[in-house]
Amino acid sequence: MVRSPSNIAVDHRNGTVVVTDRENRQIALYRPNGGMIRSFTVPGVPKGVAVSLKTHHDILVSLEGVTKPAVYTSEGQVIGESEEQENDVSDFKTADLGDLCVDEEGNIIVADRRNSRVVMFDPQRRFVGTLLSREDGLSEPYGVALLCDGVVVSDSAQHCLFYVRPGVNSTLIRPGDPSF
């Protein structure tokens, strides 16, 4: 049983529910019927979790104080390390990664609250670029989720959502709008 559940992801191939436990610094996996499969400890406070459909059931986790998403097998083994790469942006050391999602190609999309932006990493966790930022009106990104043709981002400071589609300007959606 998790003590302090916070984020959830689902592996749609087998229905496994993945839950982060901030207090115990664990990731727990459950069957669709609620039975626990296993749990494993991570080296920090988990902030976001996603399951990659591109790879073999990899679980991606953003950890407090770590500037790149960590990747684990469903058994809890670390895949790769989080060392800095040549093409990382210089200010990434100040990042505060939170919620994340993974697109069909395995790219990792992550909210960076401290820098008011949503960033993308390739499947090897190399920084690709910024999808949305202060320049687009984003203030405090909190949640990110993949849609069939883009990404939706919650902005907790502005009480709104941003909808980002590749190659198209972002759209701001506020509660009460007909498109909300």
CATH number of 126's domain: 2.40.10.500
Q: Is there a single domain that holds both residue 51 and residue 131?
A: no
- 124 and 71 within one domain: no
Domain count, the chain: 2
Of 85, 87, 50, 89, nearest to 71 (Cα)?
50
Q: Global pTM?
A: 0.82
Q: 74 and 18 share a domain? A: yes
Q: Are residues 70 and 115 in the same domain?
A: no
Asked if residue 180 and residue 96 are part of one domain, the reply reads: yes
Domain that holds residue 56: 1-81
Do residues 118 and 69 share a domain? no
* Same-domain check for residues 178 and 99: yes
Query: For residues 9 and 18, is the Cβ–Cβ distance under 8 A?
Result: yes
Alpha-helix residue ranges (DSSP H) falling in the chain = none
Q: Exposed (0-12), middle (13-18) or buried (19+): which is 76, by Cβ within 10 Å?
A: middle
Last residue of a domain, one of 81, 111, 129: 81
Read off the amino acid at residue 30.
Y
Question: pLDDT tens digits for the chain (180 residues)?
Answer: 678 898 999 998 889 999 999 999 999 999 999 999 999 999 999 999 999 887 666 899 999 888 888 899 989 999 865 544 444 444 555 778 889 999 888 889 999 988 999 999 888 888 888 999 999 999 999 999 999 888 999 999 999 999 988 666 556 555 555 554
